[in-house]
Amino acid sequence: MIMSNKDKETKSKTRKKRKFKKRYWLLIDLALAIIILYLLFYTPARYKPFEINPAGNNQNQVSPYLSNVLLPQLHNGAQRREPFDLVVIQKGINEAIARLQWPQESNGVLLSAPRVFFVPDNIVLMGTASIKGADLVVTIVVKPNLDEEGLLRLRVEKIKIGAMNITPLARVIAKKMYADRIANFHVDTENLRARIAASLLNDESFEPVLNVRDIFDDVDQKVRVEKITITQKKLTLRLVPVS
């Protein structure tokens, strides 16, 4: 069958349109990939990773802030057996965190020392997660809340990788991780660390009671968090004795 010139022109135009559409969608895919990569590798302006020098740092040494400021506050306040405020300063808690052993590895992910920011009503944690050589800044926003019964819930408000909000997906993964751990390992649910993990990962409430004797042998006292106040660069816990 011999095609007319008109049919040839129509077929040629159709091919050109198809090529244009393919190139158009390729450009869109490329643009989306660039945007996603930019969002993933974005570094918030206020985040500055700790500079760790293995040869000359003070890792694993007791933090002066903990030993000279924070723990004496807790010890002296608990000894009086009266309500008192435990004040945590952003700079001090970051200094204490930096003295821990970093980086740490978890499931093939290398984690750097996270920085803590106290902002009104929220605690913000920022750290670098290295996955196969790619460094991603992870931001977690936690909102502590005491209900009418005095139970504490550490609500994870937001989780971001770079500038990309992954909160809904992260919550699903966290709940699954927590369920798997409970099912496969013996977990002391009365342990304070376990209760904190359950609140962060599974959105559970718990009694915010600390046995001070676990820290100081000479103080046989438990204290309960009665109020939490978070302002810029400062967190204040109102602690009351528990009989």
* Domain count for the chain: 1
CA atoms within 13 A on the CB side of 153: 11
Nearest residue to 114 (alpha-carbon basis) of 178, 122, 160, 104: 104
Confidence (pLDDT) at 48: 85
Q: At what angle do helices 192-202 and 167-184 cross, to 10 degrees?
A: 140
Q: By residue range, what is the domain housing residue 139?
A: 64-242
Confidence (pLDDT) at 56: 46
Confidence (pLDDT) at 5: 55
Residue with tokens 């001070």: 212
**Residue 39 belongs to some domain of the structure:** no
Contacts within 8 Å (CB) and 24+ apart, 193-196: 196/154
**Residue 54 belongs to some domain of the structure:** no
pLDDT tens for the chain, residues 1 to 243: 555 555 555 655 566 666 666 676 777 778 878 887 778 888 888 888 876 555 445 556 779 999 999 999 999 999 999 999 999 999 999 999 998 888 888 778 888 889 999 999 999 999 999 988 889 999 999 999 999 999 999 999 999 999 999 999 999 988 988 888 888 877 777 788 889 989 999 999 999 999 999 999 999 999 999 999 999 999 999 999 997
Say what the pTM is: 0.82
Name the amino acid, one letter, at 31: A
**Residue 101 belongs to some domain of the structure:** yes
Give the C-alpha distances (Å, rounded to integers) separating 234 from 73, 94, 144, 159. Answer: 15, 12, 14, 22
CA distance linking residue 54 with residue 57, whole number of Å? 6
Pair 222, 190: CB distance under 8 Å: no
CA dihedral 129, 130, 135, 137 (to 10 degrees): 0
On the 0-12 / 13-18 / 19+ scale of CB atoms within 10 A, 1 is exposed
Nearest residue to 135 (alpha-carbon basis) of 40, 32, 51, 47: 40
**Residue 20 belongs to some domain of the structure:** no
Confidence (pLDDT) at 163: 93
* Residue 128 dihedral angles phi and psi, to the nearest 5°: -100, 130
Residue with tokens 């609140």: 199
Nearest residue to 74 (alpha-carbon basis) of 88, 61, 63, 91: 88
**Residue 75 belongs to some domain of the structure:** yes
CA distance linking residue 222 with residue 243, whole number of Å? 7
Give, rounded to a whole angstrom, the gap between the first and last alpha carbons of the chain.
Answer: 100
Name the amino acid, one letter, at 97: I
**Residue 216 belongs to some domain of the structure:** yes
Nearest residue to 129 (alpha-carbon basis) of 121, 119, 137: 137
**Residue 136 belongs to some domain of the structure:** yes
**Residue 12 belongs to some domain of the structure:** no
